[in-house]
């Protein structure tokens, strides 16, 4: 950090689990980079209490927060349906913006936000912090190393079994599994899929939640010369499976945020096996002893517990540190709106074939 770089002053709109428990808490740990100065929320009493607890200004309305000349950066952590609307308003008011997921409900939302950002000359930062998660980064590293061979299939699961009855289970607020936690898994999947646009298959179900939105989501991404990626995010699975399963032509990987393991075969050290059409002498299947190489990994910091709980702090801090360097030091964004637009496009396709919208 530059010795002359002053902290970025922040206003938060929306003080629920994300705005207060993630963003405000993270900002408090980064006093040299960020300083919370104002908050607002549709629940006025909650906002007043948060402002008192943090020792900052409480604005009665979002418009008042946008008019606050001390606020440089606005964190949009409101109800899902209003993310794009609030992000555009903040950008037009001359503020930098962090926009919580979902980063708009469709590509038209994203295009409006990007256009407002470019017109204002301000930074628009999607809150896609889970790209900084150590397990995802390690999975990507192992795949890129080539030891697993050509990747054929990837499965990414967030499984649980629970009932929910809050606003995030209602279509009226754009709740549901797709918007609530789907952006994380779909973003990971696209980073591993490659640059092509995938073909999308989707199934959504409502099982246990009290609202009318989905609490079970299944998405499959396919494409020529790309791995098939199976994404499963569900509150209907009592026996959960590993978050990660990666299958390649030389081996595979499995595990969760707190540990990964992989094994692979060096085919160059194995004898060639040309096709033989004559029967085996004893009518057995072909078989050979594989010489497996094995490896494993554990994170250095606390791991993330998955859907439905507050994320681990380290990826959030990394995203904030990255944003500080963008705004104060002019460095390029690590996670651009354009890259997240691609994820929103896949979600848009999934809704078209998922059967609930």
Q: Nearest-CA neighbor of 319 among 133, 90, 104, 120?
A: 133
d(CA 110, CA 80): 13
Residue 144: CATH number of its domain: 3.30.360.10
Question: Is residue 317 one of the residues assigned to a domain?
Answer: no
Question: Is residue 209 one of the residues assigned to a domain?
Answer: yes
Give the count of domains, the chain. 2
Q: Are residues 113 and 174 in the same domain?
A: no
Checking phi first, is residue 330 left (phi over 0); if not, alpha (psi -120 to 50) or beta?
Answer: left
Task: Return the structure tokens found at 62.
Answer: 């979002």
Q: Are residues 291 and 160 in the same domain?
A: yes
Nearest 5°: the CA angle 126, 156, 133 is 45
| Block mean pLDDT (10 aa), the chain, length 357 | 79 96 96 98 95 97 98 97 97 98 96 98 97 96 98 97 95 95 97 96 96 97 98 97 98 97 97 93 91 96 62 90 96 96 96 80
Residue 163, domain extent: 134-309+344-354
Q: Are residues 111 and 176 in the same domain?
A: no
Question: Is residue 54 one of the residues assigned to a domain?
Answer: yes
Question: Is residue 56 one of the residues assigned to a domain?
Answer: yes
Q: Are residues 176 and 95 in the same domain?
A: no
d(CA 249, CA 50): 53
Question: Is residue 151 one of the residues assigned to a domain?
Answer: yes
Q: Are residues 63 and 157 in the same domain?
A: no
Q: Are residues 174 and 281 in the same domain?
A: yes
pLDDT score of 31: 97
Q: Are residues 103 and 148 in the same domain?
A: no
Question: Is residue 316 one of the residues assigned to a domain?
Answer: no
Q: Are residues 114 and 138 in the same domain?
A: no
Q: Are residues 205 and 302 in the same domain?
A: yes
Q: Are residues 204 and 140 in the same domain?
A: yes
Domain boundary among the residues 104, 127, 150 is at 127
Q: Are residues 109 and 171 in the same domain?
A: no
Question: Is residue 339 one of the residues assigned to a domain?
Answer: no
Q: Are residues 62 and 12 in the same domain?
A: yes
């Amino acid at each position: 950090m530059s010795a002359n770089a002053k902290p970025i002053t922040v206003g938060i709109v929306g003080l629920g689990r994300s705005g207060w428990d993630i963003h405000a808490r993270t900002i408090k740990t980064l006093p040299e980079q960020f300083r919370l100065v104002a908050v607002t929320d549709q629940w006025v009493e909650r906002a007043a209490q948060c402002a008192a607890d943090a020792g900052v200004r409480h604005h009665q309305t979002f418009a008042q927060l946008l008019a606050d000349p001390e606020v440089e950066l606005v964190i949009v952590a409101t109800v899902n349906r209003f993310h794009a609307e609030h992000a555009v308003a903040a950008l037009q008011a001359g503020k930098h913006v962090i926009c919580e997921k979902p980063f708009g409900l469709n590509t038209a939302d994203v295009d409006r936000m990007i256009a407002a950002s470019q017109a204002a000359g301000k930074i628009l930062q999607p809150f896609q912090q889970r790209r900084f998660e150590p397990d995802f980064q390690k999975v990507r590293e192992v795949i890129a190393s080539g030891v697993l061979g050509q990747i054929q299939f990837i499965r990414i699961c967030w499984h649980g079994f629970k009932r929910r009855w809050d606003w995030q289970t209602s279509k009226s607020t754009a709740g549901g599994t797709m918007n609530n936690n789907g952006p994380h898994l779909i973003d990971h999947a696209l980073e591993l899929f490659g640059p092509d646009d995938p073909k999308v298959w989707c199934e959504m179900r409502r099982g246990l939640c009290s609202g009318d939105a989905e609490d079970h989501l299944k998405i499959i991404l396919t494409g020529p010369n790309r791995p098939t990626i199976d994404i499963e995010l569900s509150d209907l699975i009592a026996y959960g499976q590993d978050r990660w399963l990666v299958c390649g032509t030389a081996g595979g990987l499995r595990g969760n945020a707190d540990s990964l393991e992989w094994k692979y075969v060096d085919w160059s050290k194995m004898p060639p096996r040309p096709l033989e059409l004559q029967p085996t002498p004893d009518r057995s299947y072909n078989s050979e002893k594989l010489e497996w190489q094995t490896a494993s990994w554990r994170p250095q910091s606390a791991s993330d517990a998955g859907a439905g709980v507050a994320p681990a702090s380290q990826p959030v801090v990394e995203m904030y540190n990255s944003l500080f360097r963008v705004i104060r030091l002019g460095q390029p964004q690590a996670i651009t709106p354009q890259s997240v637009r691609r994820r929103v496009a896949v979600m848009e396709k999934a809704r078209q074939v998922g059967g609930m919208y």
